[in-house]
Amino acid sequence: MRDFSLEIYHRLLSTLIREGYTFITMQQYFAAPVEPDTKTIVLRHDVDKNPDYSLQTAIMENELGIKASYYFRVVPQSDDREIIYEIAVLGHEIGYHYEDMSLADGDVEKAYQLFKKHLQHFRHYYPVKTICMHGAPTSAYDGRDLWKSYSYRDEGIIGEPYFDFDFDHALYLTDTGRQWDGYNVSVRDKVPQQQQWIEQGLTFHTTEDIIRWLTDKHPTINIMMTTHPQRWTNDLIPWCYEAVAQRLKNWIKQKYYVQAHT
């Protein structure tokens, strides 16, 4: 079974369900406290491009009784009105995957005005309550720097995972770099607790590694799992294209961007 196929994604979700994990959205997490070590999984999807792939995972999750959070960018390759509506109708949360500092070329005041405009845009689709920064690895600007001058809470936002999620009491799994241990090629999608998880042996390369850990160790731990749905497909040609393109991106990020942001 190929990694990053819909079949293995279904296996991963089914394994988590079988192991007794409860799935919640980011909005549910920020609205109500979650006790440590309760087998709670916050399922987050960053829709960087190809939103039709996100609809496929959203349908699968709905069939399994799972609700997840889908964060859409404002750019055309992500912002698809019909798909956003369809995913919301399936019961999933819609959030804003913001990158306004990059869109404003670092002009903080302009970026905040863009943020408010774009937030209202997505609130035409869904009553957005949570946001998540887009890493934008080739940009000189970190979207989170906007909040050094402004507060997203003034706009009715109740949480942003890189500021408000308790990573001290949860494991962060992300497919950044098209691998589950892509922190070495990640520019911004990383958290300080990564080193302690490595020391505890909580690091995985493939989806099969995660499934094996769940079935062999039966861990009782809270998790936030982030995927980029454009990576997950059964279609061989797009799968191969994504695999080759991501390998090239990882090399470029490692050579030119990672060191510059550490």
**Nearest-5° angle of CA 188, CA 189, CA 190?**
95
Would the pLDDT of 185 be above 80? Answer: no
Would the pLDDT of 159 be above 60? Answer: yes
Residue-level pLDDT at 218: 97
Residues 6 or more apart in contact with residue 112 via CB below 8 angstroms: 100, 146, 149, 150
CA dist 50 and 230 (Å) reads 6
The CATH number for 6-256, chosen from 3.20.20, 3.30.1370, 3.10.530, 3.30.1460, is: 3.20.20
What integer is the mean pLDDT of 56-71?
A: 98
Domain boundaries, the chain: 6-256
Structure tokens given for 93: 């949360």
Backbone φ and ψ for 137, nearest 5 degrees, come out as: -60, -25
More confident call, 155 vs 188: 155
CA dist 124 and 235 (Å) reads 33
CA dist 84 and 87 (Å) reads 5
- The residue to which tokens 């079949």 are assigned: 7
Contact between 172 and 143 (Cβ < 8 Å): no
Closest by CA to 46, choosing from 80, 8, 95, 6, is 95
Out of 26-30, 118-122, 183-187, pick the least confident.
183-187
Out of 96-105, 189-198, 250-259, pick the least confident.
250-259
The model's confidence at residue 155, banded by pLDDT at 50, 70 and 90, is: very high
Residue-level pLDDT at 256: 61
Contact between 200 and 1 (Cβ < 8 Å): no
In tens, the pLDDT along 113-152 reads: 999 999 999 999 999 999 999 988 778 899 999 999 999 9
pTM here?
0.94
Residue-level pLDDT at 260: 54
Structure tokens given for 213: 């850990």
Residue-level pLDDT at 261: 54
Residue-level pLDDT at 253: 65
Residues 6 or more apart in contact with residue 240 via CB below 8 angstroms: none
Contact between 229 and 47 (Cβ < 8 Å): yes
More confident call, 200 vs 60: 60
- The residue to which tokens 């309550």 are assigned: 129
Phi and psi based region of residue 139 (left: phi greater than 0; alpha: psi -120 to 50; beta: remaining): beta
Would the pLDDT of 2 be above 60? Answer: yes
User: Percent of the chain at pLDDT above 70?
Assistant: 96
Residue-level pLDDT at 187: 67
Cα 239 off chain centre by: 19
**Nearest-5° angle of CA 140, CA 143, CA 149?**
110
CA dist 175 and 191 (Å) reads 14
What integer is the mean pLDDT of 154-174?
A: 96
In the predicted model, what is the mean pLDDT of the chain? 93
More confident call, 134 vs 198: 134
Closest by CA to 72, choosing from 59, 62, 87, 61, is 87
Would the pLDDT of 252 be above 70? Answer: yes
In tens, the pLDDT along 202-225 reads: 999 999 999 999 999 999 999 999
Distances (CA, A) of 212 to 19, 27, 173, 208, 216: 12, 29, 15, 6, 6
What integer is the mean pLDDT of 42-53?
A: 97
